[in-house]
A and B are shown apart, each in its own frame.
Chain A
């Protein structure tokens, strides 16, 4: 079946512009995560959505970053007034439900959006 998709695959923008990144999770997956991966570095958690619960925004690096998700469908990550340090690959992942200690559910990752801020 279809996996997690992200668009665009590549985005080049000028410093100071706003960008919007899109993630389409696997149908039926209630949990959705956004991560950032700078060149040669590990993944950084940004934000987590679970169903209709309030999102966990604890990983967002600044108030220039925001994300939305309507129900259990598509999510958008918005970066306002982009800076050069925002250049990274932004990865989205979805899970079918909470992963607890008994029921273990994998995160399925999309291919990412490579953002370059010039």
Chain B
């Protein structure tokens, strides 16, 4: 069964601290993995996208890693800011066509001052 599991479901961190979000997937055949940020009441916005051959991708203070062997990905947020408070969604695409997406349930991050 094609699944994407994210952990933790939620976390609270202090402004300036780092955190790491986890994503495990069983989607096959794997095409690419994306991390999205979704602010409350808004649509998701893409942070990173990685294919099978890529094991790390950065976007500012966001760094995603991918281990295609263990089917795990992580999203690391460095020096968190209040604006990082959002849900972070891991999405895995299967197949070459690119239209078969499996979404994780998301991790809700709250950054406190």
Identify the A interface with B (CB < 8 A).
Answer: 4, 31, 33, 41-45, 48, 50, 56, 91, 93, 98-101, 104-112
Interface readout for B19-57 with A: 1 if CB under 8 Å, 0 if not? 000000000000110100000011111100101100000
Cα distance A110–B41 in the bound complex, in angstroms: 11
Residue of A nearest to B34 (CB): A106
Category for how many chain B residues contact A = 20 to 34
Which 9 residue pairs of A and B lie closest in terms of their CB atoms, listed nearest first?
A109-B43, A99-B98, A42-B105, A43-B103, A42-B103, A106-B46, A48-B99, A109-B44, A100-B96
Q: Are A99 and B32 in contact (CB under 8 A)?
A: yes
Contact pick for A98, options B98, B101, B103, B106, CB 8 Å: B98
How many inter-chain contacts with C-beta < 8 Å in the A-B complex?
A: 57
Which residues of the partner chain B approach A110 to less than 8 Å between Cβ atoms? 43
Q: Are A42 and B46 in contact (CB under 8 A)?
A: no
Tell me, rounded to whole Å, the shortest Cβ–Cβ distance linking B103 to chain A.
Answer: 5
Tell me, rounded to whole Å, the shortest Cβ–Cβ distance linking A103 to chain B.
Answer: 9
Contact pick for B96, options A33, A41, A93, A101, CB 8 Å: A101
Check: B65 CB closer than 8 A to any chain A CB. Answer: no
Q: Are B43 and A98 in contact (CB under 8 A)?
A: no
Q: Are A101 and B99 in contact (CB under 8 A)?
A: no
Q: Are B32 and A104 in contact (CB under 8 A)?
A: yes
Q: Are B32 and A101 in contact (CB under 8 A)?
A: yes
Cα distance A4–B106 in the bound complex, in angstroms: 22
